[in-house]
A and B are shown apart, each in its own frame.
Chain A
Amino acid sequence: MRIFFALLLVLAMPRVAFADDVDLKSAKDVLDGFRLVEAWRIDEAREIAERLLKKKPDDAMTLALVGEVKMHLGDYAGAVHAFREARRNGAPEAALGSEVAAEAARVATQGYVEHISDSFIIRHPPGKDAVLVPFAVETLEAAMDRIGGLLGWRPKSRIIVDVYPTAATLAAVSSLTKEDIENSGTIALCRWNRLMVTTPRAVVFGYSWRDTVAHELAHLIIGGASKNTVPIWLHEGIAKFSETAWRGEPGLGITVDQQVRLREAAKKKELIPFAKMHPSMAKLPTQEATSLAFSEVFTFIEFLVEQKGWAGMRRTLTLMSGGMTDAEAIEEVHGKSLAKMERLWKKALLTRSIKNDKTGRPVKGDKKIVLKDRAETPDDKLHGLSKEGRRFARAADLLFARGRVKAAQRELEKAFDATQSPLISAKLAMVALANGDLDRAEKAARAAMDGTADLAGPNVTLAEVFVRAGNPSEARLPLARAIDINPFDPRIHRLTLAIEGGEGGDPDKVAHAKLALAYYEGGKPSLPTLGQGGLIEVEGAPFSRVFLERDGKQIATSLVTPTPPIALLPGAYELVLVPPTGPVQRQSIEVLPAPNDGTPQEILTTATGS
């Protein structure tokens, strides 16, 4: 909203923006464009920018809007270029507010590779994160379909999903600090019309990243559906409640433990007020507080949906997009004030039955996310267990470290008997498997999964037990659960090869497993680069994502049309344009050596869809 009001101020002073020829129509278009950006309606803003580009391509405010739209389409370099051009042409600073973020994103994501699906462009640093791509596409497409359907809105253009290698990168490109991220466990964000996700390999044991990306997508849909008018608590509530829809039903997003803790908090009247959840859940002081807040808003949405169904939720959002506040919209839909609804929900919490997800899938936010760990600090995962149990477990550690694996298993069995700890059970499963004791490994893995669904390890162990026992088809489900948490565990891909490598297996999965293992073993596929010598600018239908193909290899430019000058090797290329919507366009081009005066070669796209 800040930008919007600033712009109003600017437009009220015609001397700057349109000093020579005050074109009220264009001014209104620009205002509408910015307003739509604020309202998370990027597609509509993009259409306005397209129109303005045709009419007044060099106009400062047009360029500012183009920069904003490019930023929201994930073309950070293009956005920075446009903002700079806009400044040069006299645009006020207020209209260039996203420039810093665009520059940060440009620096952070330089050299990222891109994968395109029907509705998404997934970008990640070259290397291991390619392992995520097919799973991410599967998750996101399903989530777009299901959550978009539930909330009644879907974006028209492809959504950018940036996968960052560390939480520090997420901090660098977002408004959050590293401390915020570490304290709250925030690992993904939705802002600037894109999903920003930290790769699970940046987390020691991984995290339920598939629900997380679905959750962030839900935010994007909520923002679009409501024109970004939904307060944070409601935003998070709906997103949290709908995040599991991609893999089945919504409303599976909190664990039994979280439900129990919520009930206890409700009994003790220690619930966090919705107002305290502003401006971000990530700003809450601890991960425990964040977890409780999510449980609260989750169950409140559950309560609302139980009252009026998803149609009621859609109507609430629509009403809010029309200008109503959250309280007004809820009162309009439910016939009771928000305060009344809140009281009813709190009352219902005390008697709400604890729901258990039978699928055994991990739940986002259940586990404290460990972003970084010190290799030298001892393991503290057994905190809170009995002294005796801890002693057995630690004796097992000492034995295991000295190659006494059988003895270690004996100690872990004693430790498990003494504590019934799922974490010890997870260790026992691994050690028993190493000893070839399949029965014990299976029992221990199941016990571990019953106790904690957020570990990939027991699932992998169970899958391996099935494979070793000659029952590979049963291994698929535990493997899928493991992928939900940590697809970087190489055992997953080895087992996938064992399961899918035979007759009737899925060749795509086999190929992907091989790729993943190649990354694990240090193989780095060579990537083509743009090079130097030639200089082109791609014009044509605006806001199409630009790729180049050379020798059959695709090179992502991370730019959208119209592009700033692109330096690349002279020679023949296939220009591939991916418009925000619709079919991909291809065109053969010849890049000439750049002239001495540095004038870029203009490429005007003429080709139509292929």
Chain B
Amino acid sequence: MVSFDDVPHDGSSSGARALFDRLDRVRAALRRAALVEAVVVLVTGAVFAVGVGAVLSALSVSPTGTALAEILVLLGTLIFVGIRYGPLVFAYLNSDEGVAAYVDEASAAAGDPLQLLSAVELARDRGKFGQSELLADLAVSDAAEIAEAVDVSALIRRTTRRSLKRTLLPLVAAAGLIAGFALLAPRFIASAFEAPLAMGTLDEALRRVPPEPRLGDIRLSYRFPAYANRAPRTVESPSGRIYALAGTEVVIETSARRSVREAALLLSHGDQVDEEAQQIAVEVSGRQLRATVVLSRSGRYRFRVVDVDGELMEERRGHEIELEVDEAPAVTLDAPVESPLEVNERDRLTLEFSAKDDFLLGETFVVWRVLQTSREGRVRLTSATNGERRYRGQAELDLATLQLQPGDRVAYSVEVRDNDTVNGPKAGASETKELRVYSKKAHHAQVLALEEQSLDELVHILGDNLERAFALADDAAKYKALLESSNKIVERAMAADDLLKRTVAAIRKDPMGRPQVADAFEQARRELNKATSRKRRAVRNAKRSFERHERPDKRTGRAVTRSQDKMVTTLEKNVVYLADLLNDQRLIDAEALAKELREQQQALRQALEDFKNAPTEDKRALISESIKAIRSRIQEIMKELAKLKSSIPQDFVNQDALDANDSQEKLDEMQRMLEQGDLDAAMQALDRMLNQTEKMLSELQGGREELQSREYSEITQTANRLWKNLEEVAEEERELAKKTEQLSKNVLDRMRSRLGDPKAFIEKQKKRLQMAAKSMEKVRPEKHMPDYDLFELTERRLEDGLRALEAQDFGAGKEVLDKAAQQMAQLERDAARRVDSARRYGDVFGMSEEAERTERALRRARPAVDAVLEDIESLMPSPESLLSEGEKSMLSKLQKKQNQLEKRTQQIGQDLDKLGQQLPIVGPEVQQMIGDAAQSMQEAGQSMQQGDAPSALSQERNALDKLQQLRQELEKMGNQGGGGGGGGVPLPFGQQPSGGPEGDGNGHDPRDNKVEIPKPEQYKAPAEFREDILEAAKQGTVEQYKDAVRRYYEELVK
């Protein structure tokens, strides 16, 4: 055969080209026709296979046998198509000769024969055998022209149509068969399709299966489980498919074509028909079948019936059972949003959540787990969700019930269950969040780290000052560089202020910390600020001078050096002290941990005893947990001790000589013994550990005492001496006041006896004062007005004066009313000034009228107060005139004593000042207190000199009050003045209460405790409270009123 490619194409034979082009088109058309025919044959085969399958099913051939027949038919068709059309399409039609021959044959059949084959051969063999190429070309051209003129497509259609008709006939027949089945018994068609799917599940292909019974539509009656809260439902279903929740009771009813003798329902699980299916009894009533099933799993069901003739029939595929899915509830935890959230172990945590379920919700729980431990649980949160389909609400979780421990990290989520009573409730959970149980210890550790950071910074500032020390230099460039360097140090020191402030605030908030340590840091901060300011000024001046003169200036340079030296001295003092405080704190913390360790070890010992007496696995587990906890505690202690800063070694240290801590080894040993069941040995090992812990405790306590005695013994001695002096001075001052009091009492008694019955007098003065108060009340300014405070104070003093007079304490009354009169005068002046101002510059604020009213009222009221004062004055002779000669002499002696005490107090102040220079423990308040005490003593001395015992007594009490405050401050040192032992670094005292800018105001300044003066009718003192009242009178009273108040109480209780 010759293909077009074999033909020599030289361009000279255009006829040949035309011929071959024509042949190509014919070839394509022929191929299309052949393929159409092949497809029709295949479809026919497939339809026929289904038909065969249906027939075989109808003949009760097993699905496998049916499937095999179907496959055989299909396979046969495929083979036929391959043999019939393969060579035609892929071989015969590929050759030009073949195509030409086909056209020649078809044209001949049509009665108009063509000779294309000859032309093709001529073109192929052109000049090959010596023939004339020209003639050949001519012949080919002729053939091409003829071919062109013939309608080849029509030829092809004509020839292929016949063939197609032959092929379509079987297809129609097969389709008819299937249509018949589809109309009459569609299940056989379904069986025909399903048969290949059943391949492999059934064997014995040739075994005869029972024929399928002819059943009617299936009626399904559902009774849903109670929790679904659904009404019963009945449906008619041709397919018999069941779709319901697990636990649903389904009544299946159908009817057979013929009467049935007996029947059964076969239930199988999964998608396939199960040979060992569960059989359910079927109620049979003639042709009616009725079965009841309770759904538990998905699968299929089939009827097996025996008709009245005894023929067994059985559905093959049966009907599908699909379980409706009951979804778990969907839960969202809306609050708290924060995770991790810091809580206290006894907090009540409010949880906001929402939940929904496809049926109904059940109870709600919180599921929790302490991370990195085996502690976990589930607690009921609420029942409010019960029976709801959707719920949104909140509930409280009492963390105390979880028995959490400080430092625990807890993962938690809200879990809501549904009400599935068939398969058990399904739980849906929210996302998991985290709680962190606030740990005083963890917080304390953070505060200590901050303290350490602050100390580090102070030490580095000291290091900068030492390493980049400023010194006068002649070289301008060097001098400039030194100034720059000093400036950087100043900047660093200024930046440290913020860190120190934060540290102070953090220490104050630390429940495990000591407020005095905050005072120490605050003192260090203040001193650093002061030193920094000084240095900054000095550096700035030196820089200005340098810039002005462009050369180093000795004067300003020396000032920088001085300021630097001052800063170094301050820092040296502070860093050493703060480092000691930190070390002291670490020793305290380690001691606390060691005490905890001892308790744990004792508990373990008890647990071991219990286990020994009655061993159980639970007890063994408890012991293991205890050992774990002890191990962790020991590590904590070691960690704490390792933080103690060491000193520069003076020599190489032989590490072997240091006590190796072998507690962990002992624990390992004990655990091994436990595992080996040697309880006695384990107990002995534990006893050894306990001894070791006791030793550790004693060493830690010793360590603090050692630190105190080594570094601060002199300071302690000085403080003790000061304390003693202070106690002595206070005691002597108290004695002095007692003696003065006697004299004062004599004076007052004499004054009272001289007064006679003062009732009428008092009534008169009361009326005056009440009138004055009424006048003032009328013009009382609004709270926002600037003179409101003074006005209120004045009114209060008038009231106090009134009470003092009622108590017949004319001295106190005079004192208070004096001040009230002065304040009234002040208020009057202020009002007059406002009136005047309004007149001059206009009443801009519209308050002129009010000011005038105020001025008038005060002008009216003040004379009344003045009159009261004049009357009291006239009643009171000079105190000196009320004293006997002996009393005068006594008062003179007391004055000398008072002067001595004043000097001693001043000396204490000087000593405290010296102490403060050595150690930053003496705060600025102390000097103020000392100064005040000395001042009061001086004034008391002066009053005595004037023979005024009552005034002297008042001042003496002032002085005593200050000395008492000073004593309280000194007690803050913790171990001085008999304020308690215990060693440790002496703590600062005399700092301003709640010193820091972020102070929480938890100072204990007794001045905050104001005592209201009660009205006589307000208080009827029971006898048993008299002492208490007297004691209350002594304490915390505003000093100026102290005398009046005390005597007033005395009168009351009498």
Contact = CB atoms under 8 A, between A and B. Distances in A.
A380 B459 contact: no
B78 to A, nearest CB: 81
Interface residues of A, number: 58
A338 B652 CA distance: 46
A397 interface: yes
Interface string B442-475: 0000000000000110011011101101000000
Contacts of B466: 399, 404, 406-407, 410-411
B654 A200 contact: yes
Given A378-B644, A404-B467, A407-B467, A491 B652 contact: yes
A333 interface: no
A378 B463 contact: no
B626 to A, nearest CB: 25
Interface stretch (B278-286, B487-495, B572-580, B762-770): B572-580
Given A404-B460, A407-B462, A376 B703 contact: yes
B interface, by DSSP: helix, strand, loop or mixed?
Answer: helix
Contacts of A458: 651
A383 B709 CA distance: 10
Given A397-B648, A398-B579, A486-B651, A373 B714 contact: no
Given A402-B456, A402-B463, A427 B711 contact: no
B462 A376 contact: no
Contacts of A396: 648
B463 A206 contact: no
Nearest to A402: B459
Interface residues of B, number: 43
B126 to A, nearest CB: 101
A456 B656 contact: no
Contacts of A427: 648-650
A84 interface: no
Contacts of B649: 427, 430, 457
Most A CB within 10 A of own CB, among B464, B467, B651, B707:
B651
Nearest to A448: B650
B706 A374 contact: no
A34 interface: no
Interface stretch (A51-59, A254-262, A288-296, A386-394): A386-394
Nearest to A460: B652
B646 interface: yes
Contact of B656 (A202, A455, A490): A202
A423 B650 contact: yes
Interface string B25-50: 00000000000000000000000000
B706 A380 contact: yes
B657 A203 contact: yes
A372 interface: yes
B641 interface: yes
Interface string B175-212: 00000000000000000000000000000000000000
A466 B703 CA distance: 40
B532 interface: no
Interface string A418-439: 0000010011001100000000
A201 B650 contact: no
Interface string A187-227: 00000000000001111111000000000000000000000
Nearest to A488: B654
Contacts of A393: 647
Nearest to A455: B651
A381 interface: yes
B362 to A, nearest CB: 57
A167 to B, nearest CB: 9
B650 A455 contact: yes
B656 A201 contact: yes
A203 B645 contact: no
A228 B711 CA distance: 50
Nearest to A452: B650
A455 B644 CA distance: 25
B918 interface: yes
A377 B706 contact: yes
Nearest to A424: B650
A423 B641 CA distance: 25
B10 interface: no
Given A201-B656, A204-B658, A378 B648 contact: no
A106 B320 CA distance: 88
Contacts of A490: 652
Contact of B572 (A374, A376, A392, A455): A392
Interface in B598-657: 641-642, 644-654, 656-657
Contact of B648 (A373, A376, A430): A430
Contacts of B650: 205, 381, 423, 426-427, 430, 455, 457
B654 A205 contact: yes
Most B CB within 10 A of own CB, among A383, A407, A431, A456:
A407
B652 A456 contact: yes
A426 B590 CA distance: 32
B6 interface: no
A312 interface: no
A378 B654 contact: no
Contacts of A410: 466-467, 469
A457 B654 contact: no
A372 B652 contact: no
Contacts of B467: 404, 406-407, 410
Nearest to B641: A376
Most A CB within 10 A of own CB, among B459, B462, B463, B707:
B463
Most A CB within 10 A of own CB, among B644, B653, B706:
B653
Contact of B645 (A383, A391, A401): A401
Contacts of B710: 378, 380, 383
Interface in A364-383: 370-381, 383
A376 B644 contact: yes
A165 interface: yes
A421 to B, nearest CB: 10
Contact of B647 (A202, A373, A379): A379
A430 B590 CA distance: 32
A151 interface: no
A381 B651 CA distance: 11
Given A375-B641, A486-B651, A398 B575 contact: yes
Given A374-B659, A377-B706, A378-B710, A399 B462 contact: yes
Contacts of B873: none
A400 interface: yes
Contacts of A206: 654
B593 to A, nearest CB: 13
Contacts of A272: none
Most A CB within 10 A of own CB, among B459, B658, B699, B703:
B459
A465 to B, nearest CB: 16
A456 to B, nearest CB: 6
Contacts of B456: 402
A35 B518 CA distance: 74
B332 interface: no
A226 to B, nearest CB: 36
Contact of A387 (B469, B575, B653, B714): B714
A586 B571 CA distance: 73
Interface in B704-758: 706-707, 710-711, 714
Given A404-B466, A408-B648, 15 more contacts: A128-B656, A202-B654, A204-B658, A373-B658, A375-B658, A376-B641, A376-B642, A380-B710, A387-B918, A393-B647, A401-B646, A404-B467, A407-B464, A411-B466, A455-B650
Interface of A: 128, 165, 200-206, 370-381, 383, 387, 390-402, 404, 406-408, 410-412, 423, 426-427, 430-431, 455-458, 460, 486, 488-491
6 contacts: A202-B657, A377-B699, A378-B710, A395-B575, A404-B460, A430-B649
For the complex of A and B, the 5 pairs showing the least CB-CB separation, nearest first, are A457-B651, A404-B463, A407-B463, A407-B466, A489-B652
Interface of B: 455-456, 459-460, 462-464, 466-467, 469, 571-573, 575-576, 579, 583, 590, 641-642, 644-654, 656-659, 699, 703, 706-707, 710-711, 714, 918
